[in-house]
Every structure is written in structure tokens, then in C-alpha cells.
Structure 1
Amino acid sequence: MTASAAPASRPLSPRGQTVVLATCCLSVFVAGLDATIVNVALPSIQRALGAPVSGLQWAIDAYTLVIACLLMFSGSLADRFGRRRVFQLGLGIFSLGSLLCSVAPSLGALVAFRAFQAVGGSMLNPVAMSIVATTFTEPAARARAVGVWGAVAGLSLASGPVLGGMLVSGLGWRSIFWINVPIGALAIYLTGRFVPESKAKRGKRFDPVGQLLVVTFLGPVTAAVIEGPRHGWNSPLVVGLFALAAVSVLGLVLVERRRAEPLVEIRFFRSPPFAGAALIALVALMTLGGFLFLNTLYLQDVRGYSPLHAGVLTIPMAAALAVFSNVSGRIVAARGPRLALVLAGLLLAAGTGLLIGAGRETATWYLVLAYVLYGAGSGLVSTPITNTALSGLPRDQAGVAGAIASTCRQTGAAIGVAVCGSIVAGGSGGFVAASHIAWALLAGCGVATVLLGLASTGRWAGAHAERAGRQVSTHAMEVAR
């Protein structure tokens, strides 16, 4: 048995691999759906619970931030105790958290239940990615499988506003959480029935200091950005939060470099493709978090559309995202990640750039064009991020490497909501004028995706990736001895 293979008597057949992929996709769908379905309900939640803009930001970021903080821990937990076991546990916590969110009596309770729900959500995406990576061992087949996985994950993110609009308009905002419960129960059964257990040959030791430093880095950064407009950027609270984050990230680098089995494997960042993929995940997903937050408030509060109308108007974006997620897998399998990353960045910049000029009377065709361009770029970017992040690294580290990449995705989405929300909350010329600045920032993130994609996929980057992979493997063998 290989280091990360399932303890089965023989390899899975192609049909068995397909069933495993479908099960992982179903589970990832509900987690991705919940990351965006809440956006379309924000105006309804604001009216029902009396929430300020900062409260709406926390309703989104309580979920994405907790996931970002726990993803690496969940990835190492799965590698150590078994990916199927942790996957099922995550589904159970996620489903219970969804039920609690649906009965939340106040904004504070909703934020707390969203955080609890995210504890389960943190055990889904990185573990599903690891299951897919260890099930499909042939590189081209793995690239295609990751493309399908990315398409479903992307479709879930893009479907949130559409499905959410239907549910909010018909049944109220609490119904957006009901849908997760039966799907979660079905996914738990399918995982136990079809997904083989797998784990690393030697699981990593727990790293409580590293986990604490991750929390005290990501949490204060997000809190400072969200609360800055309300308390003032020079207030002791905000300055203190930024200072705590700076000290934590410095401590994280110093402490983790000295640990034999760190939570955050700093050695991975010696690989230019991995470091580039992490940065691309951060800036590209900033555009998604910011796009969904800004667009929801724009369509409902500025244009006066109903949740259903707003959701339907984003269908072209959802369709483009789903189609190009699948196209991305094929491009990466045939040509590598470079072309997909460059095209993704250009389309992200074009879509968000068009929305810089959006106002109260902007034509519908103009919005749809921007949505299609943005959706295509967002669909293209996921698969090459994953492929680039794993380039040159040992397969036995797939869970941890995938978790770090997913952490950057979630962090980017949380920061995107925090930054864009702070821009519109602190703007003096109203939402429309302030949103132009936010859209320009997101367009800049698209340009950064292009530049980082070019830098992290060249020959120099590939050569250094192989060297970094050998160093990680050597260190892992020394730790095992």
C-alpha cells in the first residue's frame, strides 16, 4: 500500500473512481453553496435583524474566516486519522450548524452559528481535494477530475445567488439554510457507502501553537478591516488588531520553521509555483467575495430588484463559471496551468472593470456582459491554482498542501468582503460612488492574477518546484525516522 492509498485490496475501477468523485462533488457543492447563498439574503437579514453593514460583513465572514483558520488543521487531521472519517464528521457538523442558523433569533446568534457551521465546512473542501488527488493517481486523469471537482465547486458558488433568490422570495431568508440538511444527510450516507478510507502513512503531530498563530493572524486582520470605518482607522482597537496580526504572522514564520512537523509547512513556499498559487488564490478569490457582496447590495438596494430578480440576473455569471470550470480542467490537462491562469486574470479584470461604470440606470445587457466575463474568469482560475499548488510536491503531502491553497482561497474571499464592505461603508458619496473604487480594486486583483500566473509557471519556477519537492520529501523521511 502506498503512503496515501486507500486500504483496499485492489485499486478502484474507473466506475468506482467516478462514484467517489461524484460523492465528493455533492459534499463540496453544499459547502460552496453556503459560502455564497447568504449574499442574496443580506438585505432581508438586514431588515429582519436590524443589522448594519458591518453586521452583514460578519454574517459572511464568520463562515469564510473560520474555515480559513481551520482548513490546514482539518487537512492534517484527515491525513492522520482518515479522510473519509473526517469528511463524514465535517458533514455532520455542517448540517447541524445549518439547522441552527435557520432558527437564529438575532444577528449575534446567526454569526455564532455560522462560525459553528464553518467548523464542519473546514473539513470538506481540503479533504475532498485530497480524496480526489489520492483516488486519481495518473496526472492527466487527476487534472480532469480536479477540473470536474472545480466545476462543481464553482457552480455551487455561482448557484448560491440564484437558488438563494428563489428561496428568499418564496420562503424567507431562513430557508437558505434548510436545503443543506437533507443534502448533508445524503452525502454522509454516500461517503460511508462508496468512499474508501485513506490516510498518510504517518500522520502529523498536532501543532497548537501554529494553530493559535493562524487564528490570531487571520482573525484580527479581517476584524480590523471590517471595523475600521466604524471605529476609525487610527483608533486603538483597529491599530491594535493590525499589530496583533503582524506579530502573529512573524511568529508563525519563526515558530513553524523550527518545528519538525509544523501546521503550516513553510518549506512549501520555497516552491515558486506553490507560493504563486497561494497568492493567486488570495487575489483571485478576493474578487469573488467582493463581487458577490457588492453586486447583491447593488441589485437590491440601488436597483430595487427583488431577491429572485437579482438572483436570476446573475444566472449568466453562474453558467459561465460552470462551463469554464470544466474548460479549465481540459486546458490544464492539455497545456498546463499557464494559459488558464492568464486568461482567467484577463477575464476577471475585464468583468470587474466594466462594473466600475455601473450606476442606477445601467443597461441590463451591460451588466450581463460584465457578469459573463467575470464568471468565465472565475471558472478558469480554480483548477490551475490547485494544479500549480501541488506541482513538484510529494503526493503524501496532498492534504496539507491542498489545505494551504484552500486557506488562501477562503482568506481571499473573506478579505474581499471585508475590504469592499469597508469601502462602501466609509464612502462619502453614497453606495454607487464608493462602489466604483471597490470595483477598481477588484479589477487590479485580476491584473495581479495575470502577472502572478506568468511568474509561477515558467521554466525557472518549475525547476525550483522540483528542488523544493525533494527538500520536502527529504525532511519528511527524516521526521519519519
Structure 2
Amino acid sequence: MTAAAVGVSHASVRRLIAPLALAQFICSFAGSNMNVMINDMSRDLDTTVQGIQVSITLFLLTMAALMIPAGKLTDKIGRKRCFTLGLIVYGVGAIISAFAPGLWALILGNSLLEGVGTALLIPPVYILTTLYLPDIATRAWAFGIISALGGIGAAAGPLIGGLITSAISWRAAFLFQTLIIVVILLLSRRLTDPVPADPGRPFDVVGAVLSALGLFVLVLGILAADSSVPLMIALVVAGLVILFLFFWWVRRRERAGKEALLSTALFANRVSNIALITQNVQWVLLMGTSFTVSAYLQVVRGHNAIETGVIFTAATVGLLLTSLVAGRLAKLFSQRDLILTGFVLCLAGVVLLIWLVAVSTTEWSFVPGLFLIGAGLGLMLTPSVNVVQSSFPEKAQGEISGLSRSVSNLGSTLGTAIAGTILVANIDAGGAAYGTAMGALAILGVGGLIAAIFLPEDRHRRAPA
């Protein structure tokens, strides 16, 4: 039963979107707010900057690795139940993190439990939105709000985290997350599942293990780059081999007429494939920049959490401004044009972050670049999601939502892992290490720009109003 069938009013749509958008906000916030707590957390937990980086990366990696299995699980246990379960697991993880006595507890609470909780609750956000809102324009508007809040959560994470850390403690930032989870649980009480759960639906356990293990080992290889190059190569190759086995297993199940974890038909859509690449690179840029600039400001230039957070306000303002006018711009320009423009702005921002920071020691040197990156992301986050989700029928929304969120979170993971590892491994080099890390992000950003060029001009032109 869809929204059209039950006559959902505009007010009902807003009530539906509120908990879902807030859930996307807090999960994105969790991925970036720790970046400004690096010094405080490493001191209180008796660990290193690298230890905190590993915790952040593992949180993002857990999300990415489990997003596809979780997206498939929603069909089996129900979308609303999966959403609620994810909120509960996330909340427990946030409480453990708030009272963590050491790095091990932070990894348990934040990296694992919050990561698992996020993987469970995010696919239902997009699936429920799609099922409730069959009208393309209304759905696009809803995706616009959800994606914008996700981007704002990631961009504003450093500022909010910095304010809480400076005023109270970094531990209070996790209690803040717990409070938001309680609010979401209350707001979501009236949510119902538009499509009944199918408990008898088969679940590809082998595929789930192979996909999660492959991604996990691959990213661990990137993190190992600063300690042992042979180990890095071995882990990266092992990860790629496991992922190859995953796709072999999927094809084998499909040929045998069995339901696989991920349908290979999802990769037959050229437009969706290109949009998924742009999604991935967008989050590489956002989270890679967030970690690199935050770590550089705190470890090399000696700024505290609130000072670092305030500097990041430029990115938040840029994202908010373009998000507010995105609806109007979508009526004038195709989604391809918006994505292309977004990448151009982001790349210009990265160049400014490298050049101005190299020639100036003032905090203001970070502002223009961060503003442009925020503005670019505000333009293109929603169009990329719209293109992917709208490329498939309702019956495939569980699978494509899981794949889409996994690709985005893998981008967050790779951004933090690649740029963070380059910076942390050579942190004594200061500005040189920072420039190299940002240069790596620029190269990846060019890849996203090239992919966007191949998007069709007029397809999926409708965007949020």
C-alpha cells in the first residue's frame, strides 16, 4: 500500500520525512564531529592521532561494509523494524562511547555498534521515502531534504562537535547523539511499513560475509600504508580477491535461480553506475577534507576543538546556501549540470585550500576553500541520489538503496583512510604532508568530474522543488 493509496497529505509527508531526515543528519554528523576532538580524545584515552583516525575510519567502514546486507535485510524483517533496531543499536553504541575508558571501548561503541546501527537504519530511510511517495516530484523534494540534512550533518559536525567539546567535553557529544536518537524514536512511532515484511525470504549469508569482508580487508590495507608497504599490498590484493569471489558467488546464485545478496542487474544501468561514482567521490571529498583539515589545524597549528569547528563553519554556510536554492536551480538546469558545477566548485576549493594555506598562516586562509567545497556539495548531493534511486522500479528499491548508501559510505571511508593516512604517516612534515593529502583528494575529485561529464543531459531532470 503506497502513499497514494492511503491519501497521504502534505502535512503527513512532513511528519514522515522528519524522523527519516533527522536520522540521516545524526549519522552524517557522527562521521565528522570526531574530527575536531582528535587532541582531546587522544589525550583522555591515552592513545595517538592515528588511533583516533582508525576509530573514525572503522566507523565509516562498518557502515559501508554492512549497508548492502542491511538493505537486503529490510525486506525480510521489515523496513520500520529494521529502522527501529538500528536506532537502538546506535544509541547503545553512543552511550558506550560517551563513557569509554580507553580506545578499545571507543572502537566497540562508536566504530562497531554505531556503525552497525547506522547500516541498519539508513537503507529504510530511503526505501520508506520511495514507497510512501510514488510521485516523482514529491519524492525528489523529500530526497532533497534528506540528502541536504545528511550533507549539513557532515559539514556542521566539526562546529557542533567543537562547541560541545569546548563547553563541556567530547564525551557530551556522544550523549548529544543519544538524545537525538531518543527524539527520532519518538517521532517515528507513527511510521508504518507500507509493504509487509517477508520472513520467509531467503538471505544470502555467504554473499553478505564476502562483501563485508572484502571491503573491510581492502580499507585495512589502505590504513596499513604508513606502517608496512608489503602488508598494505597484501591486504589490498586480498580485499580485491575477496570482492571478486563475492561477485562470482552472486553470479553463481543467479544462474542457479536463487536470490543473491545483490543483483548484478543493478550494474546494468549505465546512468546509475555513473551517478554512483559521483556519489562516492562527493563523500570522498567531504570526509577526506574534513579529517585532513581538522587534523592539520589541531596537531600542526595547535588550534583547539572550538577554533577548528568555527573555521569549518565556512563549509556549512556554503552547503546551506546552495541547498536552499537547489530547488530553483533544478528548474533551470539539468541534474547533470548541477553535478558538474558542484565538482568544479569543489575542485576549486581544494586548490585554494592547498595554495592559500601554503602562503598564509592565518585561519582565514581556510575559509574560501571550505566555502567552495560546501557550496559544491550542496549543489550535487541531491541530484546524484535522485538519479540513482529513480533509475529503478519500486521492487528494486531495497537493493539499490543499500548499494547507494554503501557506495556513499565507502566514499567517506576512503576519503578518511587515504587522505588521513597520508597526513598522519608524515605528520612531522606539517604543511608538506597536508598538501600531499589534499592533492590526493584533488586527483580523486577530477575522477568524479570526468564521470559526471558522461551523465545524460536531460534524464531525471526533475529535482526537489
Does residue 1:84 correspond to 2:80, yes or no?
yes
Q: Check the 8 A contact 1:290/1:416 in 2, yes or no.
A: yes
Does residue 1:147 correspond to 2:157, yes or no?
no
Counterpart of 1:410 in structure 2 is 409
Equivalent pairs, count: 453
Cα deviation for residue 125 of structure 1 reads 2.1
Counterpart of 2:11 in structure 1 is 15
Partners in 1 of 2:192 and 2:186 — Cα distance?
Answer: 13
Does residue 1:253 correspond to 2:252, yes or no?
no
Counterpart residue type for residue 65 of structure 1: L
Counterpart of 1:439 in structure 2 is 438
Q: Check the 8 A contact 1:143/1:329 in 2, yes or no.
A: no
- In structure 2, the gaps of 5 or more residues are 461-465
Q: 1:428 to 1:173 in 2, by over 3 A?
A: closer
Counterpart of 2:342 in structure 1 is 344
Q: Which residue of 214, 224, 228 corresponds with 2:225?
A: 228
Does residue 1:51 correspond to 2:44, yes or no?
no
Does residue 1:395 correspond to 2:389, yes or no?
no
Q: After superposition, where does 1:43-442 map in structure 2 within 5 Å?
A: 43-114=39-110, 115-193=112-190, 195-199=191-195, 204-230=201-227, 232-234=228-230, 237-259=231-253, 260-332=258-330, 335-357=333-355, 358-359=357-358, 361-427=360-426, 430-442=429-441
Q: 1:398 to 1:329 in 2, by over 3 A?
A: farther
Partners in 1 of 2:32 and 2:424 — Cα distance?
Answer: 20
Q: Check the 8 A contact 1:420/1:438 in 2, yes or no.
A: yes
Counterpart residue type for residue 348 of structure 1: C
Q: 1:441 to 1:394 in 2, by over 3 A?
A: same
Specify the SS of the correspondent of 1:206.
coil
Counterpart of 1:473 in structure 2 is none
Cα deviation for residue 436 of structure 1 reads 0.7
What TM-score results when the alignment is normalised by the length of structure 1?
0.89
Counterpart residue type for residue 181 of structure 2: G
Cα deviation for residue 323 of structure 1 reads 2.8
Counterpart residue type for residue 453 of structure 2: L
Cα deviation for residue 413 of structure 1 reads 0.9
Q: Check the 8 A contact 1:130/1:398 in 2, yes or no.
A: yes
Partners in 1 of 2:262 and 2:405 — Cα distance?
Answer: 13
Specify the SS of the correspondent of 1:192.
coil
Q: Check the 8 A contact 1:349/1:445 in 2, yes or no.
A: no
Please, which moves more after superposition, 131-140 or 62-71?
A: 131-140
Cα deviation for residue 329 of structure 1 reads 4.7
Q: Deviations over 1:157-192 (max 9, x none)?
A: 111101110111121221110001122112112111
Partners in 2 of 1:449 and 1:78 — Cα distance?
Answer: 30
Counterpart residue type for residue 12 of structure 2: G
Cα deviation for residue 332 of structure 1 reads 4.2
Counterpart residue type for residue 77 of structure 2: F
Q: Which residue of 26, 30, 41 corresponds with 1:30?
A: 26
Cα deviation for residue 87 of structure 1 reads 0.8
Specify the SS of the correspondent of 1:116.
helix
Q: Check the 8 A contact 1:36/1:158 in 2, yes or no.
A: yes
Counterpart residue type for residue 399 of structure 1: G
Partners in 1 of 2:288 and 2:143 — Cα distance?
Answer: 25
Q: Check the 8 A contact 2:427/2:433 in 1, yes or no.
A: yes
Partners in 2 of 1:12 and 1:291 — Cα distance?
Answer: 40
Specify the SS of the correspondent of 2:229.
coil
Q: Check the 8 A contact 2:95/2:109 in 1, yes or no.
A: no
Q: Deviations over 1:429-468 (max 9, x none)?
A: 6121011111112122222222111213357x99xxxxxx
Specify the SS of the correspondent of 1:105.
coil
Identity %, equivalent residues: 27
Partners in 2 of 1:311 and 1:380 — Cα distance?
Answer: 22
Q: Check the 8 A contact 1:147/1:326 in 2, yes or no.
A: no
Partners in 1 of 2:333 and 2:251 — Cα distance?
Answer: 35
Please, which moves more after superposition, 81-90 or 256-265?
A: 256-265
Specify the SS of the correspondent of 1:457.
coil
Specify the SS of the correspondent of 1:263.
coil
Partners in 2 of 1:322 and 1:71 — Cα distance?
Answer: 27
Q: Check the 8 A contact 1:147/1:330 in 2, yes or no.
A: no
Please, which moves more after superposition, 413-422 or 449-458?
A: 449-458
Counterpart residue type for residue 22 of structure 1: A
Q: Check the 8 A contact 2:79/2:193 in 1, yes or no.
A: yes
Q: Check the 8 A contact 1:62/1:112 in 2, yes or no.
A: no
Please, which moves more after superposition, 340-349 or 258-267?
A: 258-267
Partners in 2 of 1:390 and 1:240 — Cα distance?
Answer: 36
Q: Check the 8 A contact 1:221/1:242 in 2, yes or no.
A: yes
Q: Check the 8 A contact 2:93/2:108 in 1, yes or no.
A: no
Q: Check the 8 A contact 1:80/1:199 in 2, yes or no.
A: no
Q: Deviations over 1:327-379 (max 9, x none)?
A: 33554466442011101110111111111121484344432111110101122
- In structure 1, the gaps of 5 or more residues are 463-481
Q: Check the 8 A contact 2:314/2:367 in 1, yes or no.
A: yes
Q: Check the 8 A contact 1:341/1:449 in 2, yes or no.
A: no
Counterpart residue type for residue 46 of structure 1: S
Partners in 2 of 1:443 and 1:244 — Cα distance?
Answer: 27
Specify the SS of the correspondent of 1:198.
coil
Q: Check the 8 A contact 1:329/1:383 in 2, yes or no.
A: no
Q: 1:138 to 1:434 in 2, by over 3 A?
A: same
Cα deviation for residue 255 of structure 1 reads 1.2
Cα deviation for residue 201 of structure 1 reads 7.8
Counterpart of 1:465 in structure 2 is none
What TM-score results when the alignment is normalised by the length of structure 2?
0.92
Counterpart of 2:463 in structure 1 is none
Please, which moves more after superposition, 303-312 or 354-363?
A: 354-363
Partners in 1 of 2:32 and 2:180 — Cα distance?
Answer: 17
Partners in 1 of 2:289 and 2:122 — Cα distance?
Answer: 21
Q: Check the 8 A contact 1:276/1:453 in 2, yes or no.
A: yes
Q: Check the 8 A contact 1:133/1:398 in 2, yes or no.
A: yes
